[in-house]
Each structure stands twice: as C-alpha cells, then as structure tokens.
Amino acid sequence: MLWPHARIRHARNVEILERVAAARRETPESEAWLGLLEAAFGESEDGAPWAAGVPRPAADRPVKAPVLSHTEITLDGRAARDWVRRLLKLTPTVNPRRIDGLALLEAAVCHDDARLDALAAAGGEGVEPHALRVLGQMAALPLLQACGRELASELPATWWEGYCPLCGAWPVVAEYTGLERKRQLRCGRCGTGWAIPLLRCVFCDETEHDHLGYLTPEAGEQTRKIEICHTCKGYVKAVTTVRPLAPWAVLLDDLTTVPLDVAALERGYRRPDRPGYPIEARIAERPPMRGWWRLVEVGGGWWRSLRQDEA
C-alpha cells in the first residue's frame, strides 16, 4: 500500500509487517485503524522520537498508583505536534487544523475519554468524537510503548491490582504462557505484563469460584477463551501462547479478536468505560532550541546528543 503521506515512518520489523498484512486480508473493513496502527508501530521502532527524556516517577506516589501517575512528560512540542498532524491526515473524519496535538496526547496518555470528547466538540463539525478517541490512543502509543520499555525497572516487584502497574489501563488480554500456563495480564497501551492469581476477577477482585467462569468459542480455536465475572459482569479475553506476546503484538491481538468482544457483549458482559487508575500525567513542552543546533537521535531509544545541523 502507498502511504497517503510520505513522511510517515515505515515499520521495519518483518513480523509486524506480516501480522498487519494478515489482519488486512482477514478484516478489510478495519483498514482505517490498521493504517493508524501501522503508522504508530513505525513511529515506535526508534522509541518515541519526540519524547525529550524518560519521565521521572513521582517519589511520593501511593502504593497502588501506577508508575506514570502524576508524572510530567516532556516532549519536543514541534516534533510531537508534527507526529499528531501526520496521523490526523490518515483520518478523513477529523479535520487536522482543529486539534491541538499536545492536548490530544495528554488526554490520550491519561486515557481520559471525556477530555478527548471535549477536544472533539471544540474542534467543531469537522471532528468525529469516536474517530478522535481511536486516533488519540494511536498517537500516544509510541510514547506509552517507550515508557513501557524505559520504565520497566521502576515497576513494583509485586502488583496485586487488576490495572496496569505502569499506565493504569485495564488489561486487554490474559496470557497463559509456556508449559506451566502462567497467567500474565497484558496492557494494550504500554505492553507491560504482570502476574495475578489465576482465580481472581481483574475488575472487582472477586475470588469465589462460583462467581467466575469463562466462555469458549464453539468450534476450532483451542487457544482462546473469555474470562467472565458474574459479580461485576466484566470480561477479559484470554489466550494461550508458547512465549509472551511482544508489546506491539498485544494491541494487534486485541484489535484482531473483535469477534470475541462481540460474543461477550451479546451475553451481557462488558469492559469498564473508565481506566483502572486515572494517572493524571501532564505533558510539558521543552523550550525551543536556539540557533542552528538541533536535537538528533543516536541509536535507538531516547538517548540523543546535540549535533551541528548539517542542513
């Protein structure tokens, strides 16, 4: 496929390219978000190129607060806005001129749908609210995935909550890995995985056998099921894997198993609208560089050095 905008980075990871191509063949109707997702994967490969350093976790955060809770995330404002604009150009139902890229990133990182809807409303007629929610999450993906990698060492050794210890989102999948079928919850935003006892509802902490169960597909698929809770009516998709899914693959897996969500919804189960823990992170803009020096990336990740601009 030709990119509608030449400056979108291409993902180089062959496995990603193959999985996205397969998803395109299987669900051609998902082209709109697959295009966004592919762009976000491409942008993620070298870290979030517009992030100016790793956010420092708040020293006094409560025990149950995720690592990104109340952090200040500094971005190269111009580069970050440019990234959001490139993504907006892939979305015909959102007029790019009406959206402030940094406000969008902040609302999306905080998983604050009400704020995203307010941004859509402020954008006027040219902005479709649902499209903006999806776009916001895709725009924040490179940043959240970089945080997932760079802040992994800050994760608490044990974590008993159902929500992501890094970004506060509910898990999109429970993964049963290897011969011992160890249960890991996985975050679709930052890719973080965390272990939680087998029989316990992610959303309401229910542990009674009688109140927990699962739905299985009628035929075929042996590796899939849906864990359900009769107490809160919540559900989470589950998958059996040989090895843990790569962080990028968690989100792709979630987006390509929509029939399982439909099956759960049809039986009266649902996922909470709000994130597990609102992290209330802030996005700050790094002051613009003076003169003809600019920040360039060296290697992968977030480390950069100053170099004289060759242009």
Residues that bind Zn ion (CB under 5 A): 164, 166-167, 169, 187, 189-190, 192, 201, 203-204, 206, 229, 231-232, 234
Distance CA(161)–CA(276), nearest Å, equals: 9
Pick the closest to residue 239 from 34, 231, 229, 249 (CA basis).
249
Nearest distance from C-beta of residue 257 to Zn ion, angstroms: 19
Nearest distance from C-beta of residue 260 to Zn ion, angstroms: 18
Residue 138 φ then ψ, to 5°: -70, -35
Of the pair 91, 137, the CB lying nearest Zn ion is at 137
Nearest distance from C-beta of residue 2 to Zn ion, angstroms: 33
Nearest distance from C-beta of residue 44 to Zn ion, angstroms: 14
Of the pair 8, 228, the CB lying nearest Zn ion is at 228
Of the pair 77, 235, the CB lying nearest Zn ion is at 235
Distance CA(177)–CA(181), nearest Å, equals: 5
Of the pair 141, 201, the CB lying nearest Zn ion is at 201
Of the pair 90, 155, the CB lying nearest Zn ion is at 155
Of the pair 164, 263, the CB lying nearest Zn ion is at 164
Of the pair 232, 246, the CB lying nearest Zn ion is at 232
Q: Strands 224-229, 212-215: parallel, antiparallel or unpaired by DSSP?
A: antiparallel
CA separation, residue 200 to residues 116, 203, 208, 226, 244 (Å): 32, 9, 8, 14, 21
CA separation, residue 169 to residues 2, 136, 278 (Å): 33, 15, 8
Distance CA(293)–CA(290), nearest Å, equals: 7
Distance CA(42)–CA(110), nearest Å, equals: 22
Nearest distance from C-beta of residue 210 to Zn ion, angstroms: 13
Nearest distance from C-beta of residue 190 to Zn ion, angstroms: 3
Nearest distance from C-beta of residue 113 to Zn ion, angstroms: 16
Distance CA(27)–CA(18), nearest Å, equals: 14
Distance CA(83)–CA(43), nearest Å, equals: 8
Amino acid at the residue 223: T
Which secondary-structure segment (H or E) carries 55? none
